[in-house]
Chain A
Amino acid sequence: MPNKQYDVVIVGAGVSGCAIARELARYDARVCVVERADDVCCGTSKANSAIIHAGFDAQPGSLMARLNVEGNRLMYEWASELEFAAFPVGSLVVCVSEETRSGLDELMARGLANGVPDLRIIERDELVGLEPHIADEAVAALWAPTGGIVDPFGLTVALAENAAANGVEFLFNASVSAINRNGDAWQVIAGDSTIETRAVINAAGVYADEIHNMVAASNDQLRIIPRKGEYYLLDTTAGQYVRHTVFMLPTAMGKGVLVSPTVHGNLIVGPTATDVDDKESTDTTFEGLAEVAQKSSLTVKNVPLREVITSFAGLRAHQDAHDFVIGEVSEALCFFDCAAIESPGLTSAPAIGVMMAGLVRDRLGLPEKLEGEFVPTRKGYVNLMAITFDEWAELCKKNPAYGNIVCRCCRVSEAQIVEVMHRVPAATSLDAIKRRTGVTMGRCQGGFCSPKIMALMERELGVDPYDITKCGPGSHVLVRESNREGR
C-alpha cells in the first residue's frame, strides 16, 4: 500500500528540481520533492563555477540557448523576489592570440543570434582598464554585461523555501530505487517510502539516466556521463583580483579555466573537464589541481594561489548530444525528463522551472491557485558582512543573538545559525548550515566554529552530539565508541 499520494513527484532537490517545485507551486497540486541526500543542493548544483552565463556559448536554436538567455533574465528578477545573492558583474571572454581573434567574432554572432543583449568586443587597452591583472598575451575580449555571479546554495535554498512555503513537501534521505506503473499512476519507491503519484519529474542530475531507464523503452535509453571539474577557492583577500568573470577563448592548446569573483567575496578558479565512470567521484586529484593552477595563468597574471583556502570537485551531467533533455518520455505517460542539465544549467534553472511546470500543468490540467494563495516572495537571510554597523546594532536590539558571533572568519552570529535550523526545509547537518549561512567557509575552515555550531545544534534540534553529521547518514562528526562510553 502506498503510504503517500501526490500529483507530482520530483526526483532530485538540486537547482532544477527546486526551480520546478517552486514554479509548480503556482498550481493547485500536491507536489513532493524526493532527494537522496539530507539537504537540497547536494550534487551538481553545489559544486560548479557559480556563475550566470550571458548565453553566447550555446548553439543558436538549441534548447540550451533559449533557456540560458531566458534563465539569465529571470535570475536577476528572482534574486530580488526571493532574496538570494546574484550580481551582474559582467563577463569577459579573453582572446590571447591574434590568430584566434576571429573566434571572438563568431562568439559575438552566436550571442546576437541567441538574443544576448549589449555584447561588445573590446580591445586590449579597455580590457586592461577593466582587469589590470589580465595576461600580457591578451589582445581583445568579448564583453557581456549580463554575465554574472550567483550563490548556487542561496538560489537553490531560496527556491526550496519558497516552494515549501507554498505547500510543496520535501522528503530527504530518500534514494529512489524503483519506479513502477500502477494503473493510471506511478509508484515511486524512495528510501523507506512508497509514493503514488500522477506524474514524475526526473531531475536527478548525474543519475538522471538511471531514473529515466527505470521507465523508458529499451530503444530510448539515456546515458549521462559524469564530467569532473576541479576548482580552487581563494581567500577573500584575493577576492578582488579580478572584477568580472574571466573566460578564455579556446585555442588549439585547449579551453583554459575561468577566474571569477564569487558572491561571498572569494576568488574561484577552474574547472577542469575530465569524463569519469564513477558518479560518486567528487574527489580532487593531484593532476586536476595542477592543471587548474597552470591554466589560471593563461588569462590572468600571477593568480595568488597561496591564498587558496579549499579545493573541490563537481560532476557535470554530460550527454553526447550536448543539449538539455526536457520533456515527456515517449511511451511513459506523465513521466518527464529534466536531464543532461550541464553548463549553463545553473543559469537556465529559472527558465527550466517555468518550462517544466508549464508542461506538467498542461498534461495534468492543473488549475492555477486562487489570487493570493501563491506567495512569490521569500525573506532572505541576514548577511552581517553586507550591512552597516548601525543596521547591525538595530538587529542586536531586536535579538541579542545577533551580538554573539559564532563564525569569526565569515562573521556569522548565533541568531543566523539558529534561524536556518528552524526554516523549512530545515538545515540539520553541518554542511546544510554552512551552505545557508557561510559558517566554516572562511579561512579557518571550521576550526574554531564547528564545536560551537555543534553545541547550537544540540540545543536547537535536540540531537545527541554523536548523531550530528557533516552531510547526512554516514558522515558523523564524532565517533561514539570510546572509553568515554557510559560517561
Chain B
Amino acid sequence: MSKETHELTCINCPLGCLLTVVVDDGEVVSVTGNTCRRGDSYGRKEVTNPTRIVTTSVPVVGSATQKMVSVKTAHDVPKELIFDVMRALRDVRVTAPVSIGDVVVADVCGTGVDIIATRCA
C-alpha cells in the first residue's frame, strides 16, 4: 500500500487545528499541524478508528422540575455506532431522583461504555 495523506480539522477543542495525517501501509507515520498532544492522538485515531461522544436526553418520571434528563456516553464510542446508541436509548426512561454521573444504560451496544446522566432531576 502506498502513502495516504489526510487533511483533518481537530475537534478536540474549539481551536480547530488543521491536521495533516500521513498514513503508510495502514500505519500513521506522522501528524502535523496540531498544537497539543490531544491533537496528535485525535489525528491518529480519526484515520484509523474514529470515535465520538454521543449526547441526548431521555424522559424522566417523577421529577418536579423537569421532563427530560440529559445524558451522554461516558467515553467516546465508535463513530459508526452513533445511531445504534440513539436506537438503544429510544425507549429508555429514568425515574427521579437522578444525579449527575448516574448510569442510565450500562455497556451501551456492547461498547463497554455506559450512558450516564449529565444533569440532576
Task: Check whether chain A touches chain B (CB < 8 angstroms).
Answer: yes
A483 within 8 Å of B by Cβ?
Answer: yes
Interface string of B87-98 (1 = CB under 8 A from A): 000110100000
The main secondary structure of chain B at its interface with chain A is loop
Number of interface residues of A (CB under 8 A): 4
Number of A-B contacts (CB under 8 A): 8
Scoring B59, B86, B90 by chain A CB atoms within 10 A of each residue's CB, the highest score goes to B90
Q: Is the interface of A mostly helix, strand, loop or mixed?
A: loop
B90 to chain A, nearest CB (A): 6
B63-106 contacts to A, CB under 8 A, are 86, 90-91, 93
Closest-by-CB residue of A relative to B86 is: A483
Residues of B within 8 A of A487 (CB): 59, 90-91, 93
Smallest distance from the beta carbon of B73 to chain A beta carbons, Å? 18
Residues of A within 8 A of B86 (CB): 483
List, in ascending order, chain A residues with CB within 8 A of B90's CB: 483-484, 487
Query: Could you mark each residue 458-485 of chain A with 1 if its beta carbon is under 8 Å from any beta carbon of chain B, else 0?
Result: 0000000000000000000000000110
Give the docked Cα–Cα distance between A312 and B86 (Å).
41
Is A486 engaged at the interface, CB distance under 8 Å to the other chain? yes
Residue of A with least CB distance to B89: A483
Q: In the bound complex, how far is the Cα of B92 from the Cα of A487, in angstroms?
A: 8
Assembled-state Cα–Cα distance A403/B119 (Å): 28
Give complex CA distance A483, B93 in Å: 14
Give A487 to B57 CA distance when docked, in angstroms.
12
Q: How far is the CB of A198 from chain B (nearest CB, A)?
A: 52
Closest to B59 in A: A487
CB distance from A425 to the nearest CB of B (A): 31
> Using an 8 Å CB-CB cutoff, how does the interface string of A387-398 with B read, 1 for contact, 0 for none?
000000000000
Shortest CB-to-CB span from B109 to chain A, Å, is 16
Residues of A close to B93: CB separation below 8 A: 487
Closest chain B residue to A487 by CB distance? B59
* A479 vs B74: C-alpha distance when bound (angstroms): 31
- Give the residues in chain A near B91, CB-CB below 8 Å: 486-487
Which residues from chain B contact A486 at a C-beta distance below 8 Å?
Answer: 91
Q: Can you name the residue of chain A whose Cβ is closest to the Cβ of B90?
A: A483
Q: How far is the CA of A483 from the CA of B86 in the complex (A)?
A: 10
A486 and B59 CA atoms in complex are apart in Å by: 12
Q: List 7 A-B pairs, minimum CB-CB distance, nearest first.
A: A487-B59, A483-B90, A486-B91, A487-B91, A487-B93, A483-B86, A484-B90
Residue ranges of A at the interface with B (Cβ–Cβ < 8 Å): 483-484, 486-487
Identify 8 residue pairs between A and B in the complex whose beta-carbon atoms are under 8 Å apart, listed by A's number. A483-B86, A483-B90, A484-B90, A486-B91, A487-B59, A487-B90, A487-B91, A487-B93
